[in-house]
Amino acid sequence: MMELQGHQTFIQRVVSMNQPFVSHLFESYFIALGVLLGGSLVGAIASFLTGQPLLTEISRLSNSIRIWAIIAAIGGTFDTVYSFERGLLNGETKDIFKQFLLILTAMGGAQTGALLISWLTQEHV
């Protein structure tokens, strides 16, 4: 009986070591922001080397990799689809709500990155 209690406390310690959901939201936001900014700015090196207009290419790249920034931030599409399936079929609406918030924060991070790129390049003028 004493050994069983020891295993329960170990399991409780492992579960408490997991990151809380709010930190996943912040990670999702900043991963999408970083992927969009980094991908646009590093991708612009190729346009510079090939003689294409630098700021125009940065703006174009930020528009084209926005969806990939969101997918990278949520950790791939299969986990999200599995969570939606589990939420709908098993009645775990909490998982659906969490995945919706993760996608929403990833979209916010990608939109923030696109807005920063737009401010830097002034391509909308």
pLDDT per residue as tens, the chain (125 positions): 444 454 545 444 444 445 688 888 899 999 999 999 999 999 999 999 999 998 999 999 999 999 999 989 888 656 667 777 777 788 777 778 888 888 899 999 999 999 999 998 886 65
Number of domains the chain is built from: 1
- How many whole angstroms separate alpha carbon 68 and alpha carbon 120? 21
- Domain membership flag for residue 110: yes
- Domain membership flag for residue 34: yes
User: What does the pLDDT read at residue 89?
Assistant: 80
- Domain membership flag for residue 37: yes
CA torsion angle for 55, 57, 115, 80 (degrees, to 10)? -160
Over the stretch 55-69, which tens digit does the pLDDT of each residue have? 999 999 999 999 999
User: What does the pLDDT read at residue 99?
Assistant: 83
User: What does the pLDDT read at residue 107?
Assistant: 95
- Domain membership flag for residue 57: yes
| Residue 71 domain boundaries | 24-121
- Residue 14: C-alpha distances to residues 5, 17, 27 (Å): 14, 5, 21
- Of residues 115, 112, 92, the one with CA closest to residue 104: 112
Q: Which residue has the tokens 């809380």?
A: 20
- Domain membership flag for residue 81: yes
User: What does the pLDDT read at residue 124?
Assistant: 63
- Domain membership flag for residue 62: yes
Report if pTM > 0.85.
no
- Domain membership flag for residue 31: yes
- Domain membership flag for residue 109: yes
